[in-house]
C-alpha cells in the first residue's frame, strides 16, 4: 500500500519540497496492495514487446538501414540504443513499477512536473486517432485478400484509371529516370490510392468528403477489438498479447523462408546489408538513427510507465528493460531480411535496381509488398498471412497507447477508476469519432498531418522534460535508492551518468534536429496549405502546453514567497 505523502513538506516556512522533492519522505511501495497486477510475468513482457514492436519495425527501419549505409547504419543505431534508448526504457519501467501509478500521478515524486504526464497522455490519445486507421487499412486488405485472384493484380477494375499499366509492361526502359516505387499507375498503387483511399476524389485537405463505409466498418471492428481487449484491464489485455505479440514473429519467419527462395532475393539482401562507411560522414544518418531508436522503443508515450505500474514491487525491471529493448531492435533488423528478399525479387522481375523498388511507409506494405505477393503461387495465402501480421503488429501497439490513456487518467480521477469499463468504451468511441476524418476521401491528408505534428516534436519535448524531471529535480540518487528498495541493488555508475547527462543531451539533440529538419508538410506531390501547417503546430502545442501551464498553476497554488519557492 502506498504511504501518503504529507500535503506540505516544510523547510522553515518553505513549501519548496512539496513540488520539487515531495517524495523524499515517501516510503518504498509495499508489494501488497489493492492495485491490479499482471497475471503472469510473461503477460507483461509480451505486452511491452508488442507495444514496442510495431508497424515501423517493418516499414521504416529496413529502408533507413538500406538508405543510410546498410550495415554501417547499425553503428549509430546501436550507439544510441546503448547510451539513450535502453537508459530511457529502464528509467520508465522503474518509475512506473516503484510508484505504481500512471503517467500523470507518477509525478507525485515531483508535482511541478505533472503537466508532462498530461502531455504524454494527450499525445497517446492523438496517436490513437490515426494509428487505428492504419490497422483498419490492414483489415480491409485482409478481407480483400480472401479471393481467388487478388484485386490489385491487374487493371480493368472499377477503380482503375485509363492510365493503369500492368506490372509486366513496366521495366527499366519504361521508367526512364524514375523509380518503380514512385510509379503510381500500377494496379497495386491504384488499388491503394483509388480503390481503398479514394484519394482521387479529393482535391486536398480542404476537400475531405464523407467517411467511406467500407473503411468505417473496418474501423468499427478495430475499435471493438481494442475495447474488449482492454475493458478488464491487464487481466484481459495480458492474454490478448499471447496472440498479437507472437504472431508477427511466426509470420516474419514464414515470409523470410518464402522470400529467400525467390529469384533475385539474394541481391535484395546484399543491398540491405551493403556496408558504406562513408555515409557516416552525413549528419542526416545520425539524425535518422537517433529518431528511429527513440520512436522504435516507444519511451515517452506513457505506455511503459502504465504497463510497469502493474508489476509486482520487487520485479527485476532492469532485466526486463535489457531484454525487451534488445528484442525490439533485433526484430527491426530481422524484418529487413524478409522485406528486402522480396524487394530483390521485384527488382529482378522488372529489370530495375533494388533502389528503384525500395521505399518506406505505407507505400512499402500496401503497394510494393502486396504486388510482389500477388505474383507468387498461392498468392491468396501469402496475402492473408502478411496482412494478419500487419494487423497484429498494429493492434498490440494501439492497445498500449490506449492503456496509457486509461491508466493515466483513472489513476488521477478515482471516479473514472470506479467506472473503468465505461471510461474504456468512451475512450475507444472517442478515438473512433475523430478517426472518421481519416477514412474520408481526403483522410490520408488528415492522417499525415496528425502523424507529423501530434507525435513528432511534441513527444520528443515531453520525454526530454520527463528525463530532466527525474534526473535533475527528483534526483538520480533518490531514484537509484528507489530501485534499490525494489530489487536490492543500485543502478551502476553508467546508468546514473546516462540518466543525468547523456540521455537528456541525446533528447535535446533529437528535439533540435527534428525542429531544424522539419519543413512544410507534403504527401507525395501534394503540398499542404499554410493554414494546415499552422493547424498542425496547434495540435502539437495543445499537448506541450500542459507542461508550463501546470507548472505555473502549481507554482501559484503553493503558499509562500517567490524566494521561498525558488531557492
Residues 111, 357 contacting (CB under 8 angstroms) = no
Angle, helices 443-453 vs 114-144, to 10°: value is 150
User: In whole angstroms, what separates CA 51 from the centre of its chain?
Assistant: 8
CA distance 235 to 257: 35
Close Cβ partners of 355 (under 8 Å, ≥ 6 residues apart): 179, 271
Residue 526: phi, psi to the nearest 5? -90, 125
Cell digits for 184?
A: 503510381
DSSP letter at 500 equals I
Alpha helices in 469-526 (DSSP H): 476-487, 493-497, 503-516
Cell digits for 388?
A: 494478419
Close Cβ partners of 345 (under 8 Å, ≥ 6 residues apart): 259, 262, 263, 264, 265, 268, 372
Listing DSSP states for 277-290 in one string gives GGGGG-HHHHHHHH
Closest C-alpha among 533, 544, 521 to residue 458: 544
Is residue 378 marked as binding? no
3-state secondary structure of 113: helix
Helix (H) or strand (E) holding 237: helix 234-244
Is residue 396 marked as binding? yes
Close Cβ partners of 559 (under 8 Å, ≥ 6 residues apart): 15
User: In whole angstroms, what separates CA 280 from the centre of its chain?
Assistant: 26
Residues 460, 511 contacting (CB under 8 angstroms) = yes
Q: CA end-to-end span of the chain, whole Å?
A: 33
DSSP letter at 529 equals P
CA distance 320 to 332: 18
CA distance 40 to 2: 22
Left (φ > 0), alpha (ψ -120 to 50) or beta: where does 70 sit? left
Close Cβ partners of 58 (under 8 Å, ≥ 6 residues apart): 335, 339, 364, 365, 389, 390, 393
Is residue 393 marked as binding? yes
Is residue 13 marked as binding? no
As a 3-state breakdown, the chain gives helix, strand, coil percent values, each rounded to 5, of 70, 0, 25
CA distance 363 to 376: 19
Place of cell 496549405: 529
Q: What is the CB neighbour count within 10 angstroms for residue 274?
A: 14
Residues 348, 263 contacting (CB under 8 angstroms) = yes
DSSP letter at 567 equals -
Q: What is the CB neighbour count within 10 angstroms for residue 561?
A: 10
CA distance 392 to 138: 10
Extract the annotated binding site.
50, 52-53, 57, 296, 328, 393, 396-397
Extract the annotated binding site for Na(+).
50, 52-53, 57, 296, 328, 393, 396-397
Amino acid at each position: 500500500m502506498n504511504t501518503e505523502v504529507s500535503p506540505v513538506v516544510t523547510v522553515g516556512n518553505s513549501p519548496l519540497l512539496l513540488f520539487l522533492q515531495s517524495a523524499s519522505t515517501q516510503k518504498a511501495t509495499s508489494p501488497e496492495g489493492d492495485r491490479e497486477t499482471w497475471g503472469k510475468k510473461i503477460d507483461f513482457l509480451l505486452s511491452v514487446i508488442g507495444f514496442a514492436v510495431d508497424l515501423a519495425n517493418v516499414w521504416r527501419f529496413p529502408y533507413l538501414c538500406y538508405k543510410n549505409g546498410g550495415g554501417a547504419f547499425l553503428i549509430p543505431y546501436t550507439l544510441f540504443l546503448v547510451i539513450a534508448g535502453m537508459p530511457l526504457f529502464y528509467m520508465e519501467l522503474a518509475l512506473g513499477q516503484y510508484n505504481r501509478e500512471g503517467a500523470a500521478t507518477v509525478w507525485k515524486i515531483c508535482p511541478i512536473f505533472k503537466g508532462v504526464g498530461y502531455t504524454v497522455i494527450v499525445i497517446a490519445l492523438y496517436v490513437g486517432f490515426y494509428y487505428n486507421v492504419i490497422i483498419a487499412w490492414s483489415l480491409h486488405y485482409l478481407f480483400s485478400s480472401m479471393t481467388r485472384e487478388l484485386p490489385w493484380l491487374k487493371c480493368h477494375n472499377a477503380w482503375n484509371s485509363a492510365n493503369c499499366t500492368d506490372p509486366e509492361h513496366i521495366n527499366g526502359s519504361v521508367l526512364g529516370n524514375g523509380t518503380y516505387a514512385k510509379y503510381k499507375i500500377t494496379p497495386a498503387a491504384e488499388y491503394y490510392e483509388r480503390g481503398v483511399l479514394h484519394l482521387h476524389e479529393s482535391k486536398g485537405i480542404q476537400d475531405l468528403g464523407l467517411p467511406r463505409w467500407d473503411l468505417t466498418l473496418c474501423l468499427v471492428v478495430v475499435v471493438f477489438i481494442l475495447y474488449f481487449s482492454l475493458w478488464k484491464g491487464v487481466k484481459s489485455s495480458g492474454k490478448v498479447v499471447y496472440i498479437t505479440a507472437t504472431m508477427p514473429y511466426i509470420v516474419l519467419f514464414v515470409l523470410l523462408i518464402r522470400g529467400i527462395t525467390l529469384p533475385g532475393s539474394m541481391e535484395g539482401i546484399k543491398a540491405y546489408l551493403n556496408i558504406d562507411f562513408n555515409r557516416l560522414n552525413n549528419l542526416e544518418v545520425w539524425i535518422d538513427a537517433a529518431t528511429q531508436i527513440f520512436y522504435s522503443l516507444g519511451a515517452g508515450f506513457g505506455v511503459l510507465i502504465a504497463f510497469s505500474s502493474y508489476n509486482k514491487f520487487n520485479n527485476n525491471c532492469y532485466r526486463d528493460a535489457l531484454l525487451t529493448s534488445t528484442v525490439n531492435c533485433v526484430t527491426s533488423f530481422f524484418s529487413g531480411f524478409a522485406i528486402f528478399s522480396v524487394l530483390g525479387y521485384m527488382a529482378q522481375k522488372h529489370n530495375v535496381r533494388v533502389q528503384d523498388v525500395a521505399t518506406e511507409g505505407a507505400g512499402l506494405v500496401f503497394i510494393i509488398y502486396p504486388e510482389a505477393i500477388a505474383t507468387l503461387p498461392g498468392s491468396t495465402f501469402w496475402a492473408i498471412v502478411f496482412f494478419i501480421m500487419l494487423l497484429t503488429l498494429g493492434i498490440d501497439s494501439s492497445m498500449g497507447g490506449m492503456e496509457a490513456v486509461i491508466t493515466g487518467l483513472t489513476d488521477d480521477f478515482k471516479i473514472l477508476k470506479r467506472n473503468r469499463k465505461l471510461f474504456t468504451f468512451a475512450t475507444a468511441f472517442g478515438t473512433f469519432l475523430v478517426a472518421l476524418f481519416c477514412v474520408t476521401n481526403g483522410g490520408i491528408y488528415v492522417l499525415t498531418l496528425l502523424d507529423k505534428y501530434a507525435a513528432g516534436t511534441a513527444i520528443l519535448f515531453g520525454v526530454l522534460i520527463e528525463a530532466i524531471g527525474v534526473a535533475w529535480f527528483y534526483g538520480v540518487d533518490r531514484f537509484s535508492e528507489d530501485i534499490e528498495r525494489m530489487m536490492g541493488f543500485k543502478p551502476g555508475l553508467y546508468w546514473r551518468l546516462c540518466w543525468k547527462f547523456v540521455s537528456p543531451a541525446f533528447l535535446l539533440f533529437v528535439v533540435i534536429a527534428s525542429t531544424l529538419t522539419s519543413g512544410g508538410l507534403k504527401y507525395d506531390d501534394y503540398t499542404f496549405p499554410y493554414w494546415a501547417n499552422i493547424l498542425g503546430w496547434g495540435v502539437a502545442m495543445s499537448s506541450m502546453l500542459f507542461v508550463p501551464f501546470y507548472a505555473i498553476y502549481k507554482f501559484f497554488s503553493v503558499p509562500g514567497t517567490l524566494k521561498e519557492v525558488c531557492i
